[in-house]
Chain A
């Protein structure tokens, strides 16, 4: 596959051939040095609002968070330098690793199902002769644009083990009454189900764009070769949407590694912290005003997410190659 990137920089030759930058009116020939300096100052002046905002709200907090991560500070009093203590505390803490484990399980429960499901539904909505395709697309995307709090409330009501509709239906059919939100076995799958319900619209938008980009001739060729719908899906559609899949996997990994609101609103991290994700664990430090440990936790998560995403891209690119 051609190595298409987001890099839109023009080739060097094109840059050399391109017309010169805007001429400054009224300048005499030969005053190029002064003009260049002036343009540089103008440029700096024009981007200075952004630079100021970036410095105040991004660079400074980042540096400050880094300093905090090596400190003991609870939001008041004197900031005390503790070296690597916060990092070593986290890296030797079972709760930290448990939160990462919970996040990893969430990833496994969500990303493969959601990715494959989105490709399948996108394929169905694009290629089949289904009626009401536009309506169906709207229905699938609707949860994505619905406020999370409202959906979480509805989900909790649906999956309550005392009066929830899901358990009512299950028991009416002779099945068990399951503690979806109150047992360690089901809490994570329940949250994963909620996330899939909530965010599949986003996955679908990406996959629809990818699937619609596949030319009909490819499918005609597959059909001529005798491929059925399942074979066509796995051997034509899935390989051809791999770049979109890669993008979605990276975005999902970023999102899940920071997952907070869903477990917070549905299980509050319970039962017994079994659905406490790394995002919730980080929040717990901040809630406790243990800002040093919270900052260290942030940086550990950044490193982890960076490594995971690079690994995902590497795997996908190696397959492309």
Chain B
């Protein structure tokens, strides 16, 4: 072939040109500029701020004008639109404009730049403190409602001495279970009052059906971490940090919860899948999973995706870790915030006050409405006076055999231990505690190693750099 090499060369050279070093550098330079620009998502100068407008400068009786409030563009927005008529009746001179927005992406840039800032926004509890310095201090406005608010919701909205969020919903943990499977395994659900009892029940069920993996072990690192927080909050009130921001991971509560999870995994009692995945739906609907300690919003699956098992699910209080211990824990929640640069903070406050703390408001949201004819039942109010077990806002769920979820849920909401804090870096901890928890669930890490390595990594990468 060598004799033909020159021919090959000339033939190949003609149609295909290779890059020169200079042109390559030019291309790479352009690409580098683009890549580096990713780091500068905001072209706004930091620290710029307009003079904040004081909240409380308008008396409710004098309220007039229009207010723009951001919601996620989903059912919650539609539900809150149902609050507007009663609000307008109370404040006829105020026009409320509820807008569906991708809040996770747009609120922070608006708060920082001061451009297009809404008068108020719906925000997940985990995101509130990250924006605290851009938010209005609501301490004085909320003073009269503090005693009527579930304490942990006040805790997650408190930045130092400032209360920067108006608590909206509580998302307590409950124990969802399959009554038909428990009945077949001769397990009395009323006896599932401790996590040891829950483990025994899982063993009974597996004893009858070796393929059963009764307790779900979440495969999404972030959600699994939130689940762990629920188990920990039950025991020590705090989650990963205390009110001073100090890590509370190397504690008995973490060790107890992780040891229990490891037992579930080691004994083959846990089903590995992601929440709401096709796999998890198949596992739960098909009977592989039958004991689910999870947030109240698990009933979203029961109502919306299960087919065969509809009507066989029930809900109860979470088991306790110790005799007489709390039978509830936090797993989620949202609040409302008013930006410090809001044009009409008073009007926003009046709307939120009406929606959250007036009976007309919370009945319009959680009671029967055009979006949810049976009421909004995947969350509960934060207002204690609304959390009356005897005064149900939403109707019993057919998927839960028409059980009175309101009664179970309200008791759980009121029992969530106080003291929970969500650090600004919470979501980033999934790379450390979240990943290590996954290793534990897969039998690749010990409890002590999870705690030791998570504390070290979170302290170094998140706390020290916050």
Q: Are A240 and B431 in contact (CB under 8 A)?
A: no
How far, in angstroms, from A242 to B16 measured CA to CA in the complex? 9
Stretch at the interface among B36-44, B81-89, B250-258: B36-44
Report B78 CB to chain A, min CB distance, Å.
Answer: 26
How many A-B pairs fall under 8 Å by CB?
216
Which secondary structure characterizes the binding site on chain A? helix
Stretch at the interface among A44-52, A142-150, A169-177, A220-228: A220-228
Q: Which residues of B contact A306 (CB under 8 A)?
A: 25, 28, 32
Q: Which residues of B contact A182 (CB under 8 A)?
A: 219, 272
Q: Are B4 and A222 in contact (CB under 8 A)?
A: yes
Q: Are A213 and B15 in contact (CB under 8 A)?
A: yes
* Of B279, B428, B435, B438, the contact of A288 (CB 8 Å cutoff): B428
Which residues of B255-294 have CB atoms within 8 Å of chain A's CB atoms?
A: 272-273, 277-279, 282-283
How far, in angstroms, from A89 to B40 measured CA to CA in the complex? 19
Q: Are B31 and A305 in contact (CB under 8 A)?
A: yes
Report B427 CB to chain A, min CB distance, Å.
Answer: 7
Does A6 lie at the interface of the complex (its beta carbon under 8 Å from any beta carbon of B)? yes
Q: Are A299 and B16 in contact (CB under 8 A)?
A: no
Q: Which residues of A contact B20 (CB under 8 A)?
A: 3, 5-7
Q: Which residues of B contact A217 (CB under 8 A)?
A: 7, 11
Q: Are A298 and B282 in contact (CB under 8 A)?
A: no
Q: Are B47 and A79 in contact (CB under 8 A)?
A: yes
Q: Are B431 and A210 in contact (CB under 8 A)?
A: no
Which residues of B56-100 have CB atoms within 8 Å of chain A's CB atoms?
A: none
In the complex with contacts A68-B39, A288-B425, A241-B16 CB distance below 8 A: yes
Q: Are B8 and A294 in contact (CB under 8 A)?
A: no
Which residues of B291-307 have CB atoms within 8 Å of chain A's CB atoms?
A: none
Q: Which residues of A contact B46 (CB under 8 A)?
A: 73, 75-79
Which residues of A260-292 have CB atoms within 8 Å of chain B's CB atoms?
A: 268-273, 276, 282, 284, 286-291
Q: Are A7 and B8 in contact (CB under 8 A)?
A: no
Does A36 lie at the interface of the complex (its beta carbon under 8 Å from any beta carbon of B)? no
Q: Which residues of A contact B41 (CB under 8 A)?
A: 286, 291
Extra contacts, 11 of them, besides A1-B12, A316-B18 (Cβ < 8 A), are A75-B46, A218-B4, A244-B16, A254-B31, A268-B221, A270-B438, A286-B41, A289-B130, A298-B38, A299-B39, A310-B25
How far, in angstroms, from A162 to B36 measured CA to CA in the complex? 40
Which residues of A134-190 have CB atoms within 8 Å of chain B's CB atoms?
A: 157, 160, 162-163, 182
Report B277 CB to chain A, min CB distance, Å.
Answer: 8
Which residues of B414-466 have CB atoms within 8 Å of chain A's CB atoms?
A: 425, 427-428, 431, 435-436, 438-439, 442, 461-462, 465-466
How far, in angstroms, from A64 to B111 measured CA to CA in the complex? 20
Stretch at the interface among A19-27, A55-63, A105-113, A125-133: A55-63
Q: Are B38 and A162 in contact (CB under 8 A)?
A: no
How far, in angstroms, from A235 to B5 measured CA to CA in the complex? 10
Q: Are B12 and A214 in contact (CB under 8 A)?
A: yes
How far, in angstroms, from A27 to B40 measured CA to CA in the complex? 49
Q: Are A5 and B18 in contact (CB under 8 A)?
A: yes
Using C-beta atoms within 8 Å of the partner chain, give the interface range for chain B. 35 or more
Does A65 lie at the interface of the complex (its beta carbon under 8 Å from any beta carbon of B)? yes
User: Which 4 pairs from chain A and chain B are nearest by CB?
Assistant: A213-B15, A295-B39, A240-B12, A5-B20
Q: Which residues of B contact A271 (CB under 8 A)?
A: 435, 438, 442
Report A178 CB to chain B, min CB distance, Å.
Answer: 14
Does A124 lie at the interface of the complex (its beta carbon under 8 Å from any beta carbon of B)? no
* Of B4, B42, B431, B438, the contact of A75 (CB 8 Å cutoff): B42
For residue A182, which residue of chain B has the nearest CB? B219
Q: Which residues of B contact A95 (CB under 8 A)?
A: 431, 461
Q: Are A272 and B220 in contact (CB under 8 A)?
A: no
Which secondary structure characterizes the binding site on chain B? helix
Q: Are B42 and A293 in contact (CB under 8 A)?
A: no
Using C-beta atoms within 8 Å of the partner chain, give the interface range for chain A. 35 or more
* Of A4, A68, A218, A240, the contact of B40 (CB 8 Å cutoff): A68
Does A193 lie at the interface of the complex (its beta carbon under 8 Å from any beta carbon of B)? no
* Of A89, A218, A270, the contact of B11 (CB 8 Å cutoff): A218
For residue B221, which residue of chain A has the nearest CB? A270
Q: Could you pull out 6 A-B pairs where Cβ atoms are within 8 angstroms?
A: A2-B10, A3-B20, A218-B11, A250-B19, A288-B425, A291-B42
Q: Are A65 and B465 in contact (CB under 8 A)?
A: no
Give B contacts to A, CB under 8 Å: 1, 3-4, 7-25, 28, 31-33, 35-43, 46-47, 108, 111-112, 130-131, 133-134, 219-221, 272-273, 277-279, 282-283, 425, 427-428, 431, 435-436, 438-439, 442, 461-462, 465-466
Give A contacts to B, CB under 8 Å: 1-7, 57-58, 60-62, 64-66, 68-69, 72-79, 89, 93, 95, 157, 160, 162-163, 182, 209-210, 212-215, 217-218, 221-222, 225, 227, 231, 235-236, 239-244, 246-247, 250, 254, 258, 268-273, 276, 282, 284, 286-291, 293-299, 301-302, 305-306, 309-310, 313, 316-317, 320
* Of A68, A69, A160, the contact of B278 (CB 8 Å cutoff): A160
Q: Which residues of B contact A268 (CB under 8 A)?
A: 220-221
Report B450 CB to chain A, min CB distance, Å.
Answer: 12
With most chain B CB atoms within 10 A of its CB, the pick from A62, A212, A301, A317 is A62
Q: Which residues of A contact B431 (CB under 8 A)?
A: 95, 269, 273, 276, 284
Q: Are A76 and B427 in contact (CB under 8 A)?
A: no
For residue B41, which residue of chain A has the nearest CB? A286
* Of A235, A286, A313, the contact of B19 (CB 8 Å cutoff): A313
Q: Are B36 and A62 in contact (CB under 8 A)?
A: yes
With most chain A CB atoms within 10 A of its CB, the pick from B15, B16, B17, B221 is B16
* Of A60, A69, A241, A313, the contact of B24 (CB 8 Å cutoff): A313
In the complex with contacts A7-B23, A313-B19, A162-B282 CB distance below 8 A: yes
Report B401 CB to chain A, min CB distance, Å.
Answer: 27
For residue A292, which residue of chain B has the nearest CB? B39
Q: Which residues of B contact A78 (CB under 8 A)?
A: 46-47
